[in-house]
Amino acid sequence: MLDRRLTYFSELERFIREWDEVCQAVVFQAAPDLENEKSFDLAIPCFQWSKVKKLPPAKISEALAAALELAKDHLGLDAVESLNAYVNIRFRSDILQRELAAREDDPLRASREALAGERIAIDFSSPNIAKPFGFGHLRSTNIGAAICRIYQSLGAEVVRINHLGDWGTQFGKLITAYKHFGNADFVKGDPINNLYALYVKFHEEEQKDPALMDEAREWFVKLEQGNEEARELWTWFRDVSFHEFKKIYDRLGVSFDYVTGESFYNELMEASVSLIESKSLLKESEGAQVVDLESYGMPPCLIRKADGSTLYATRDIATAEYRMKTFEPTKLVYVVGSEQKLHFRQVFKVLELMGYPWGERWVHVDFGLIKSDQGKMSTRKGNIILLEDVLNQAEERALQIIEEKELTKPEERRLTPAEKKEVAKLVGLGAVIFFDLKAKRTKDIIFSWEDILNFEGDTGPYLQYSYVRLGSLLERAKAESIKWSKADWPLLAVEEERDLVRHILNFPAAVEAAAKEFEPSVISHELLELAGSFNRFYMKVPILKGESDQVAGRMHLIEMTRKLLRQGLELFGIQCPDRM
């Protein structure tokens, strides 16, 4: 469970620190579910002070609870309870209403300036040229785009970077395959897929003829040296590839401030290598040049191959230098798979040894793989699952479900064919994006059509449906001439109502935690909790019935919940339909 620091804790936190100078790092958590008549709003674990105070946590809990009980009125507390190692606290309703009032126009207002003044440069997506945009690329694209939106929502300046894989020996392989097995007409017929077919063909034929690999290396050296034929083919492959990538980005709602490939940094690499050499870091190893990192628990970082060609590490070192000097970010983030952990550790260490004092600003945000039932997806073997196919099938499945549900509605309330198609587009895309972002990013994901296209449970469509249900409640209230204004606040007469308020007030802290940990799944969890709390409220409470002030307050609460659900989903690039 993640720690939370909420704005309405400030007076409470100050009191605890004054109560005992040992209690400097006050940690708050969501209160445990207790089968009491009154639930609690938060819990204070007392383990954190046990070692320093040399007392059992339960004893500290009793003492802190006694102190808080005496200050209840001053702190706006309704109830305090010592329970083992925890102090559970319940705020007065007017304190929660005050917090709601401060955020009614923007439920995320409490965190809007949390990172003001920071500039974060984020390298994400970064597909390889001449290969289709596979489903595996969704992770870097989705996680990176979500982190960008999260940081921007907190007031940070964001620089979005797409670092295309447009350099390296694989282009020697592709040129070799093109000259042996392809031609211009073949590539023009279906550029990205046919280039990919040539790449797969190269690896199949290389098994029979190892000399092809030598030829591929020679072509890449020619490319680095500016050979005219190699450059023309490479430029063509690059242009047709990004044209296809752009279609996917537009569909996902993802954009970039800088789209540059590894090739952009070619002219900068010699200066980087010279600086490494001037620091006496370069050593020769079997004809290649390396930086020895054995004393740091890592294998050597290969800077230049024996044939003189450069590697990923060389280019990433030059890239980091350029970005830090050009953008001057407070953080330079790389959203790249967990398989590259060692690579980035090596690159960051070499940069440190080169004398750059930027270490704490570099962050590798790693993530797990998307695997098929047969194991890891591989572009060499050709068993890649195309993201475009996944998105298309998600939309088709969504449309089928929507059409089935429409048959159960009165004819006058049914969607038009155009509306059904638009809703299916939003729901299908939302299903795929949320499937990716709901899991903790470091976990591997098993590709499963059933999980992606499941429209029940912890899914994007469930959240979108909750949004639609909230809208329907507002429409019904207006149809019944129920009126409410900014002055109307929920009376918090039932626990389901109060629980929904807690989730609304807790959400900004979840956004801050997601930014701090580069973990979008924190927000996924909170969105599901928010929707779950609303649906429990909806099922157990007659929202549109009761005293006029009670109904008005609840409708105000429904309005805020709907606004927050939309804001939270927008952080993931998921839009909500008004009807489903």
Q: How far apart are CA 24 and CA 149, in angstroms?
A: 32
Q: How many Cα neighbours within 13 Å face the side chain of 211? A: 2
**362 pairs with which residues across the strands?**
332
Q: Please tell me the total count of domains within the chain.
A: 3
For residue 578, being part of any structural domain is answered with no
**CB-CB neighbours of 113 under 10 Å:** 11
Q: From 328, 352, 376, give the residue that closes a domain.
A: 376
Q: From 72, 91, 110, give the residue that closes a domain.
A: 91
Q: Which residues are CB-contacts of 32 (< 8 A; sequence separation ≥ 6)?
A: 40, 43, 86, 88
Q: How far apart are CA 480 and CA 375, in angstroms?
A: 56
Q: Which residues are CB-contacts of 68 (< 8 A; sequence separation ≥ 6)?
A: 15, 75, 77, 80, 87, 89
Q: Are residues 320 and 283 in the same domain?
A: yes
Q: What angle do CA 384, 370, 176 make, to 5 degrees?
A: 35
**CB-CB neighbours of 36 under 10 Å:** 12
For residue 119, being part of any structural domain is answered with no
Alpha helices for 2-105 (secondary structure H): 10-19, 47-53, 57-70, 72-75, 93-103
For residue 99, being part of any structural domain is answered with no
Q: How far apart are CA 256 and CA 124, in angstroms?
A: 9
Q: Are residues 396 and 372 in the same domain?
A: no
For residue 98, being part of any structural domain is answered with no
Least Cα distance to 567 among 106, 116, 115 occurs for 106
Give residue 486's domain range.
387-570
Q: Taking the chain (580 residues) in consecutive chunks of 10 residues, what is each chunk's mean pLDDT?
A: 50 82 66 61 86 89 94 92 92 90 90 94 94 87 98 98 90 94 91 90 92 93 91 93 92 95 88 95 92 96 84 92 96 96 97 93 94 57 75 91 86 89 95 93 84 78 95 94 87 89 90 96 96 94 91 94 98 94
Angle between helices 548-570 and 460-479 (to 10 degrees): 150
Q: Are residues 531 and 503 in the same domain?
A: yes
For residue 575, being part of any structural domain is answered with no
Q: Are residues 61 and 17 in the same domain?
A: yes
Q: Are residues 69 and 215 in the same domain?
A: no
Burial of 485 (C-beta count, 10 Å sphere; 0-12/13-18/19+):
exposed
Tell me the DSSP string of 514-533: HHHHT-THHHHHHHHHHHHH
What CATH number is given to the structural domain containing 182?
3.40.50.620
Q: What angle do CA 143, 144, 149 make, to 5 degrees?
A: 100
Q: Are residues 393 and 371 in the same domain?
A: no
Least Cα distance to 237 among 83, 129, 111 occurs for 129
**Phi, psi (degrees; rounded to nearest 5) at 441:** -60, -25
What CATH number is given to the structural domain containing 67?
3.30.1360.70
For residue 100, being part of any structural domain is answered with no
Alpha helices for 280-416 (secondary structure H): 312-327, 341-353, 387-406
For residue 342, being part of any structural domain is answered with yes
Pair of tokens at residue 560: 């805020």
Q: Is 274 left (phi over 0), alpha (psi -120 to 50) or beta?
A: alpha
Least Cα distance to 339 among 310, 370, 309 occurs for 370
Q: Are residues 318 and 430 in the same domain?
A: no
Q: What is the pLDDT of residue 22?
A: 66
Q: Are residues 296 and 427 in the same domain?
A: no
The H-or-E segment that residue 222 falls in is helix 211-224
Q: Are residues 270 and 211 in the same domain?
A: yes
Percent helix, strand, coil in the chain, to 5, is: 55, 10, 30
Q: How far apart are CA 298 and CA 342, in angstroms?
A: 8
Q: From 91, 109, 143, give the residue that closes a domain.
A: 91
Dihedral sign for Cα 243, 245, 251, 253, please. Answer: negative
Q: How many Cα neighbours within 13 Å face the side chain of 393? A: 14
Q: What is the pLDDT of residue 156?
A: 97
As a three-state string, the secondary structure of 328-349 is CCCEEEEECCHHHHHHHHHHHH
Radius of gyration of the chain (CA): 28
Least Cα distance to 523 among 575, 477, 568, 470 occurs for 568
Q: Is 122 helix (H, G, I), strand (E, B) or coil?
A: strand
What CATH number is given to the structural domain containing 427?
1.10.730.10
**CB-CB neighbours of 510 under 10 Å:** 22
Q: Are residues 459 and 560 in the same domain?
A: yes
As a three-state string, the secondary structure of 471-491 is HHHHHHHHHCCCCCCCCCCCC
Residue 108 identity (one-letter amino acid): L
For residue 104, being part of any structural domain is answered with no
pTM attached to this predicted model: 0.89
Q: Are residues 491 and 525 in the same domain?
A: yes
Q: Are residues 283 and 418 in the same domain?
A: no
Residue 357 identity (one-letter amino acid): P
